[in-house]
Amino acid sequence: MRSAAFRALAELPGVRRLGAVEGGEELLIQSGRHERRLVVDPETSQVIRTNWLPTATGGSMGMNSGFFIKLTTGWTDELPR
């Protein structure tokens, strides 16, 4: 399901596939003056790096300076602090 969502995302106007990068495929999402970049692992369809994150208030924060935020996900038995 997730891989189909990323394939559909890549077909939207303003979205370009930039090609293979370390760890996956990079997508560029152009939204006005903002460039949002995602690196997606094609084997797991997980976003492994991005230059923006959604905020708790519905906005977004990010960096347009070429830096990425590394994302990791997994199961845990620990409660948040």
Q: What is the pLDDT of residues 27-70, one digit of tens each?
A: 888 877 778 888 888 888 888 888 887 777 877 777 656 667 77
Q: How far is the C-alpha of 45 from the C-alpha of 26, rounded, in Å?
A: 12
The pLDDT of residue 20: 93
The mean per-residue pLDDT over the stretch 17-22 comes to 90
Q: How far is the C-alpha of 68 from the C-alpha of 8, rounded, in Å?
A: 23
Cβ pair 34, 53 in contact under 8 A: no
The pLDDT of residue 52: 81
Q: How many CA atoms lie within 13 A of 38 on its CB side?
A: 18
From the list 31, 37, 44, 64, the residue with the least C-alpha distance to 3 is 44
The pLDDT of residue 1: 63
